Amino acid sequence: MASTPEFNPPWGASYRLIAAEKWKAKSAAMGRDVTQALVEYARPQPGMNVLDLATGTGEPAISLASRVAPGGHVAALDLSPELLEIAADRARQRGLTNFTTQQADAHNLPFADASFDLITSRFGVMFFRDCAQAMREAHRVLKPAARACFLAWGPFQQPYWSTMMGVVHAHVGGPILTPGGLDPFRFAEPGSLSRVLHEAGFAEVAEETRTLPWTWPGTPQEVWEQAQAVSTPFLPLLQRVPLEKWDEINRAVYAAIEKYVVGGKIEFGATVVLASAAR
């Protein structure tokens, strides 16, 4: 019999950190193609000074640090000191000496004007409280003609989300996300992120939607446990599930995920938005 899931407290709390540590290898494997797509999109060059916003446990900052050496440096910024420690440990394990972490708010960056050759953020821009202010700060700390490159989730209606949170929603109803709360799909509508960048003063704004590999190297049970632990915006949805419904929901989730199982892996695919702009 499937067990009732343990609910996830807010980001930075101990349960999410335990989950981040438990699933770090498989989560990194699942996100590798998306990370690589953002790195290639950003076109890092040796010697660049790079800022990665909302870095979490360290990507794409760690990948970028390898690309801008020798002579370049990456500052990985996040609000959570616990997640930054995980990022710093991952960088140490790779022998990176041009990688530092900075606990700070993207809305009030602790850097001088025109400090960076490149700014990136992977799955972070959707969660900025005031995205326009955060983008103005990004614009301020970029050097003239330097670029900012962002990656955000596309629509909710894609396999990774619909097989899990979509199944839960079908059983319990109500809002998928809390109105006015965290919204991973805030910039899923084409052109919405571009508008914010234009309003912040950026030029040469470009945006595209891509579907990339997003493959979990394990079982449906594992990825469902991982998703519940780290998908904080869906916590209110999960908390609406009556205890007696969890066995039924778990079975339905596993059946939905099984459609994407190929050779012991789960090939979801991820539809994402890539946007870039120049100062």
pLDDT per residue as tens digits for the range 27-66: 889 999 999 999 999 999 999 999 999 999 899 999 999 9
Q: Structural domain of residue 262, as residue ranges?
A: 14-278
Q: Is residue 66 part of a domain?
A: yes
The yes-or-no verdict on residue 20 having pLDDT over 70 is: no
Q: Is residue 9 part of a domain?
A: no
Judged by DSSP in three states, 118 sits in strand
**248 inside domain:** yes
pLDDT at 10: 42
Say how far apart CA 102 and CA 53 lie, in whole Å: 10
pLDDT band at 19 (very low <50, low <70, confident <90, very high): low
Q: What pLDDT is stored for residue 12 in this prediction?
A: 41
For position 6, what pLDDT does the model report? 37
For residue 11, the model assigns a pLDDT of 37
Residue 220 lies in a domain: yes
* Bridge partners, 261 (sequence order): 266
Contact 155, 130 (CB under 8 A): no
Rounded average pLDDT over 132-147: 98
Confidence of residue 16 (pLDDT cuts 50, 70, 90): low
Rounded Cα gap, residues 190 and 152, in angstroms: 11
| Confidence (pLDDT) at 23 | 78
Structural domain total, the chain:
1
3-state secondary structure of 85: helix
- The answer to whether residue 7 sits within a structural domain is no
Q: State residue 232's pLDDT score.
A: 87
Q: Is the pLDDT of residue 125 over 90?
A: yes
Q: What is the pTM of this model?
A: 0.90
Please give the Cα distance from 80 to 151 (Å, whole number). Answer: 20
The Cα–Cα gap between 197 and 200 comes to: 5
Higher pLDDT, 80 or 3: 80
pLDDT exceeds cutoff 80 at 190: yes
Q: Which residues pair with 215 in a beta bridge?
A: 267
pLDDT at 18: 65
Per cent of the chain over pLDDT 90 is: 86
Task: Decide if 184 is inside a domain.
Answer: yes
Note the pLDDT of residue 3: 36
Q: Is residue 1 part of a domain?
A: no
CATH number reported for the structural domain that contains residue 259 in this entry: 3.40.50.150
The answer on pLDDT for 5 being more than 60 is no
Contacts of 219 (CB under 8 A, 6+ apart): none
- For residue 8, is it within any domain? no
The proportion of the chain whose per-residue pLDDT surpasses 70, expressed as a percent, equals: 93
Return the higher-pLDDT residue of 140 and 4: 140
Q: What is the pLDDT of residue 9?
A: 37
